[in-house]
Structure 1
Amino acid sequence: MPAHSDTTTEPTPTDDPRSRRRRLEPDERRAQILSCAIDMFGERPYAAVSTAELAQRAGVARGLINHYFGNKRDLYLAVVRRMVTLPRPDNMLVPAGPLPDRVDASVRWLLDTIGEHGTTWVKVTGLEGIGDDPDVQRILDEADNAAADRVVQMMGLSDSLHSEQLRALVRCYGGLVKAAGREWIVRGSLDRAQVHELLSDTLLTLITQSFPKVNGTN
């Protein structure tokens, strides 16, 4: 594959600021393109996003998008992965103390994740991009499993004899998280504090009441 020049225009005192040429490392350039793609897929439907316009917005040659991501669908899959990628475990503070405090911390983490990506997160998790695509669904399913594992860990219940059942319940709870995210981010019918209360109350009820009933310990 021919080499691509990872450069934008660096202004001289008389240059137009829109024309900049600056050398970036490949990882930086890829991250720049991905960031612009995240914005564009959040602003408009999948079919209305063009790689030519994306290249213009990112300030790169169109060939660099193909170089780093392949075609438009491959780029969208990269956006989906970025939207549902969880923070590294060592970057998360697993809460200690009473269960309500753990629930509160878990919900805060979930809403921070949603709020960081806004409408793009809502569209991606709601399958509003390229529809019923098996690769998108696989990425989302893997993300749901990882998020359930993380929530169970934050509840301090990873070693429960019925942890698999609890993870299944948390995956069901994930559907409410996605719906609440839409009400907050897209519709504006609920604010973050109201969504936090809804999700906290529901998660606490799931763990203290629903979980014992499902596993037969209540």
Structure 2
Amino acid sequence: MAVDRRALLVDAAAELFTERPYDEVTTTEIARRAGVAYGLIAHHFANKRGLYLATIRAAAERLRAVHETAPAGGTPAARLHDALTRHIAHLEANAEGYLALMRSAQGSDAEVRAIIDDYRWQGALRVLRAAGVTEPVRPALRTAMRGWVGFLNEIVIDHLRHRELSRDALADLAAATLAAALRTAHALDPGIGIAPELIERL
């Protein structure tokens, strides 16, 4: 079976960027940890920055893949709870890497922020599509969802640092906040495309 040397480099780089700041990691040690020739970094990614951005995209893709399977449950609330607990469980299992990723997102790197912002918005769209909403998303709903996704991210970061709430409790908090955000968006604009009856079932 052929070895995917590109994937080996991405995995090795992700480990090292989790362990130390970007500027302290060298391409030589990335290649050494991956067990591949140094020149493959230039071949696949052009340079260290290209490899770094590839690790960001790979992390976002792994989290997106968690939600590829349809949520379990017979009610909207149960399906939302299942999706949220799977999301939280994945981040618990990859806590160090996720916290390092979020530190990068809070910096001045516009490309990293753009990758993460796109991933977050795609996650918000998955929630909206499950509720029957299609694009374009109306302003009140778009603003509410962007705010909720930011809230979800912050409570997960707090959870990963402190581990004081259970996974179920965190999912309940996120679900209740989503319902409140949608309720307010509907009050501002009844045409957002989500029935009040559905919001109350979350």
Could you state the TM-score of these two structures normalised by the residue count of structure 2?
0.78
Q: Percent of pairs identical after alignment?
A: 26
Match of 1:120 among 74, 91, 97: 97
Give 5+ residue unaligned stretches, structure 2: 197-202
Q: Which residue of 2 aligns with 1:52?
A: 28
CA distance in 1, matches of 2:78, 2:178: 12
For residues 69-110 of structure 1, give each alpha carbon's deviation from its aligned partner in whole angstroms, at most 9, with x where no partner exists.
Answer: 221111111111112222287x32155643311321231242
CA distance in 2, matches of 1:88, 1:200: 18
CA distance in 2, matches of 1:173, 1:202: 7
Across the two proteins, how many residue pairs are aligned to each other?
190
Deviation, 1:115, is 3.2
For residues 131-159 of structure 1, give each alpha carbon's deviation from its aligned partner in whole angstroms, at most 9, with x where no partner exists.
Answer: 311211221222122111112123x2325
Kindly report which structure 2 residues correspond to 1:29-40, keeping only aligned pairs within 5 A, or say none.
Answer: 29-40=5-16
**Secondary structure in 1 aligned to 2:65?**
coil
Give 5+ residue unaligned stretches, structure 1: 1-22
Match of 2:69 among 67, 92, 112: 92
Q: Partner amino acid for 1:32?
A: L
CA distance in 1, matches of 2:104, 2:10: 19
Q: Partner amino acid for 1:87?
A: A
- In structure 2, relative to structure 1, the CA distance for the partners of 1:94 and 1:165 (3 Å cut) is farther
- In structure 2, relative to structure 1, the CA distance for the partners of 1:160 and 1:201 (3 Å cut) is same
Q: Partner amino acid for 1:212?
A: H
Q: Does 1:78 align with 2:78?
A: no
CA distance in 1, matches of 2:124, 2:17: 26
Quick check: which has more Rg, 1 or 2? 1
Q: Does 1:169 align with 2:148?
A: no
Give the helix-richer structure, 1 or 2: 2
**Secondary structure in 2 aligned to 1:127?**
helix
Task: Note the aligned Cα RMSD (angstroms).
Answer: 2.9
CA distance in 1, matches of 2:26, 2:94: 20
Q: Partner amino acid for 1:103?
A: L
CA distance in 2, matches of 1:70, 1:109: 35
Q: Does 1:178 align with 2:142?
A: no
Q: Which residue of 2 aligns with 1:215?
A: 189
- In structure 2, relative to structure 1, the CA distance for the partners of 1:161 and 1:98 (3 Å cut) is farther
For residues 115-174 of structure 1, give each alpha carbon's deviation from its aligned partner in whole angstroms, at most 9, with x where no partner exists.
Answer: 353222222234358x311211221222122111112123x2325996554343222111
Higher relative contact order (CA closer than 8 Å, sequence separation 6+): 2
Could you state the TM-score of these two structures normalised by the residue count of structure 1?
0.73
Q: Which residue of 2 aligns with 1:68?
A: 44
- In structure 2, relative to structure 1, the CA distance for the partners of 1:37 and 1:94 (3 Å cut) is same
CA distance in 2, matches of 1:150, 1:125: 21
